[in-house]
Amino acid sequence: CATGSAAVRQGIRAIDANAARIVLVVGAEQMTTTSGPEIGKNLLKASYLPEEGDTPAGFAGVFGQIAQAYFQRYGDQSDALAMIAAKNHRNGVDNPYAQMRKDFGYEFCRHESEKNPFVAGPLKRTDCSLVSDGAAALVLADTATALKMRRAVAFRANEHVQDFLPMSKRDILAFEGCEQAWNQALNKAGVTLDDLSFVETHDCFTIAELIEYEAMGLAKPGEGAKLALDGETAKDGRLPVNPSGGLKAKGHPIGATGVSMHVLSAMQLVGEAGGIQVPGAKLGGIFNMGGAAVANYVSILDRIR
Amino acid sequence: CATGSAAVRQGIRAIDANAARIVLVVGAEQMTTTSGPEIGKNLLKASYLPEEGDTPAGFAGVFGQIAQAYFQRYGDQSDALAMIAAKNHRNGVDNPYAQMRKDFGYEFCRHESEKNPFVAGPLKRTDCSLVSDGAAALVLADTATALKMRRAVAFRANEHVQDFLPMSKRDILAFEGCEQAWNQALNKAGVTLDDLSFVETHDCFTIAELIEYEAMGLAKPGEGAKLALDGETAKDGRLPVNPSGGLKAKGHPIGATGVSMHVLSAMQLVGEAGGIQVPGAKLGGIFNMGGAAVANYVSILDRIR
């Protein structure tokens, strides 16, 4: 799920190693031609199969368990999850690259219905990202070359933190790899969350976005819900999160997602994001993960030209 | 099949990019717990499935077709293939890390028998590498650090050439990616094949080693057989090829193979290769490939301390 960001990172490294001056990074995935059960089986391979391989409902089941555990520790967060789903769907309406451009609204996302059944644990269909076909590409260049272009966006930071694969080896509600990647990236960039104009974060499930609020340091553990409920992460909030609509609305074509996050963030920074533009965006943060916070990639992007 | 070399290359790049000073590269694979048909299906994924996905006998079938085509263009090479198989099995006897340490001899490899049946096209069981469990690891370091160690081996070259995946888009008997990778590597290192003390090459099937003789420039197209028949690539020949026993004898644990080739070559260069030692080895060449010459990696190693 983070292979797109892994590819971006390898491209950066090739340039840093003077092995390349310009790198084309492409992420692509075709999922809709595969049957539902097989998709579930394939996605579950992002888990530690000896312990998690039998999870009912596949990878959604893994996050269903995470949501369940979160609710047990911090109380029912169904309101906040519905707010996140509704926010991202609302944002996605304005994204011409989104797979689903429909404003479902909070009420629809909040309540179980025939069209919004429970999928795994407390997660309903509107809490899950989509099965998608998609592709994204971007061009990386060394700084001198980039500065000759009409516009250029730089990596103020690009960090990768790899956590243990088995969930039994970590506090699965802490997303510690995500936290560490954000800390490293903010340090490297010499900025704080307050300096960011927006964040694109990995909302494969709404519970993931909620926990990521806490892991990135936007809220204390167990208090992420308040941000969602108060609209602080809405497009006109204190820190817009997933102005693109996130994986929730734009879809989650596995290998393309990380690349797409970088592309859409760069578009924000050069002021060419169209309907999803965050006014005056200056600095953007990206978090893309593989598995349940196993492979953690954070980039901080800055317009330099 | 070349992911081990891809990992080595990423490690080198991390050091070149000043992102790391010391890198541990690990390749590991467990294959023997998977059923035969499933292994075949998994390995075939190294092919272009829309065109090659129905190949009978899986990935062996792909190389069976290559052998068939080679025989049609250049005549029957069963003698040479048996010489290659016998040579590598002979070499493997002296390799304590080899999976199969048995000197089958030329006659056994040459003739069909109950224990050596045809597997795909003209390829018999002794023409195919093994289903293996295995692992290999090595430590990379920047030059300054390496020179502080008791012994050190340097990359005079490390090249990667990626060819088209579909066999229909290339002359499959030419292994052009292999040829280009060797050319680039020899140029980069400023040496010729005559300077090499030995080569470890990717003999997933004996026909592959035969074609690689030609692709690396050791023989003209269609004339690789002569090298094998004359013993020029035997351990005491002009250029020992696969003194370790190759994939044929040491096994082919997919993700480990490329790393293992580098480890065994480094052992040769520091004179610690035990029974498989090539006397006075000074410069070693490695060719590891993924698919049928799709991902092509060549390294040239040199002892610097």
Structure confidence by residue, pLDDT tens digits, B118-131: 999 999 999 999 99
Instruction: Assign B57 a pLDDT band (cuts: 50, 70, 90).
Output: confident
> Domain of A249: which CATH number?
3.40.47.10
- Cα separation, A197 vs A288, whole angstroms: 18
Split into its structural domains, chain A has a count of 1
Kind of pairing, strands B198-201 and B283-290? parallel
Residues from chain A contacting residue B161 (CB–CB below 8 Å): none
Cross-strand pairs, B195: none
Q: Are A97 and A267 in contact (CB under 8 A)?
A: no
Mean pLDDT along residues B299-304? 97
For residue B66, give the nearest of B300, B291, B218 by alpha carbon.
Answer: B291
Mean pLDDT along residues A24-29? 96
Q: How far apart are the first and last CA of chain B?
A: 31
Instruction: Assign A87 a pLDDT band (cuts: 50, 70, 90).
Output: very high
Q: What is the pLDDT of residue B251?
A: 95
Q: What is the overall mean pLDDT for chain B? A: 95
Instruction: Assign B51 a pLDDT band (cuts: 50, 70, 90).
Output: confident
Nearest to A19 among B13, B18, B19 (CB): B13
pLDDT of B40 > 90? The answer is no
Q: What is the pLDDT of residue A203?
A: 97
Lookup result for tokens 């045809």:
B118
Beta-carbon contacts of residue B231 (< 8 Å; ≥ 6 apart): B83, B87, B237
The residue among A46 and A143 whose pLDDT is bigger is: A143
Q: What is the pLDDT of residue A176?
A: 97
Sign of the dihedral defined by the CA atoms of residues B4, B8, B13, B14, in that order = positive
Mean pLDDT along residues A36-52? 84
The winner for highest mean pLDDT among A45-59, B25-39, B194-208 is: B194-208
**Hey, is the C-beta of B13 within 8 angstroms of any chain A C-beta?**
yes
Instruction: Assign B199 a pLDDT band (cuts: 50, 70, 90).
Output: very high
Kind of pairing, strands B133-141 and B22-30? antiparallel
pLDDT digits (tens, 9 = 90+) for A186-203: 999 999 999 999 999 999
- Cα separation, B22 vs A114, whole angstroms: 56
Q: What is the pLDDT of residue A6?
A: 96
Q: What is the pLDDT of residue A42?
A: 84
Beta-carbon contacts of residue A142 (< 8 Å; ≥ 6 apart): A15, A21, A22
A162-171, A206-215, A269-278: segment of lowest average pLDDT: A162-171
- The nearest alpha carbon in chain B to A10 belongs to B10
Mean pLDDT along residues A77-102? 98
Cross-strand pairs, B287: B201, B298
Mean pLDDT along residues A204-231? 98
Helix ranges, chain A (H): 3-16, 36-44, 49-52, 58-74, 78-92, 105-110, 143-146, 176-189, 206-215, 224-229, 246-250, 254-269
Q: What is the pLDDT of residue A54?
A: 83
Q: What is the pLDDT of residue B50?
A: 85
For residue B80, give the nearest of B247, B276, B271, B211 by alpha carbon.
Answer: B211
Q: What is the pLDDT of residue A88?
A: 98
**Hey, is the C-beta of A16 within 8 angstroms of any chain B C-beta?**
yes
A18 with B16: Cβ contact below 8 A: yes
Q: What is the pLDDT of residue A36?
A: 84
Residues from chain A contacting residue B159 (CB–CB below 8 Å): none
B10 with A13: Cβ contact below 8 A: yes
Q: CB atoms < 10 A from the CB of A143, how many?
A: 12
- The nearest alpha carbon in chain A to B16 belongs to A17
3-state secondary structure of B1: coil
Residues of B with a known catalytic role: 1, 252
For testing the chain B interface, which of A9, A13, A45, A159 should be mutated: the one with the most B CBs within 10 Å? A13
Mean pLDDT along residues A167-171? 92
Q: CB atoms < 10 A from the CB of A20, how many?
A: 17
For residue B277, what is the DSSP state? Answer: P
In total, the C-beta contacts within 8 angstroms joining chain A to chain B are 20
For residue B257, give the nearest of B44, B20, B31, B61 by alpha carbon.
Answer: B31
Query: Residue B143 is part of which domain span?
Result: 3-303
pLDDT digits (tens, 9 = 90+) for B86-106: 999 999 999 999 999 999 999
A14 with B19: Cβ contact below 8 A: no
Q: Structure tokens of A130?
A: 């989509």
Residues from chain A contacting residue B10 (CB–CB below 8 Å): 10, 13
B14 with A18: Cβ contact below 8 A: no
Shortest Cα–Cα distance, B14 to chain A (Å): 7
Q: What is the pLDDT of residue B35?
A: 87
Q: What is the pLDDT of residue B54?
A: 83
pLDDT of A40 > 90? The answer is no
**Hey, is the C-beta of B33 within 8 angstroms of any chain A C-beta?**
no
**Hey, is the C-beta of B73 within 8 angstroms of any chain A C-beta?**
no
- The nearest alpha carbon in chain A to B12 belongs to A17
**Hey, is the C-beta of B38 within 8 angstroms of any chain A C-beta?**
no
Q: What is the pLDDT of residue B38?
A: 85
Instruction: Assign B53 a pLDDT band (cuts: 50, 70, 90).
Output: confident
Sign of the dihedral defined by the CA atoms of residues A272, A277, A283, A288, in that order = negative
Q: Structure tokens of B162?
A: 């990626």
- The nearest alpha carbon in chain B to A14 belongs to B13
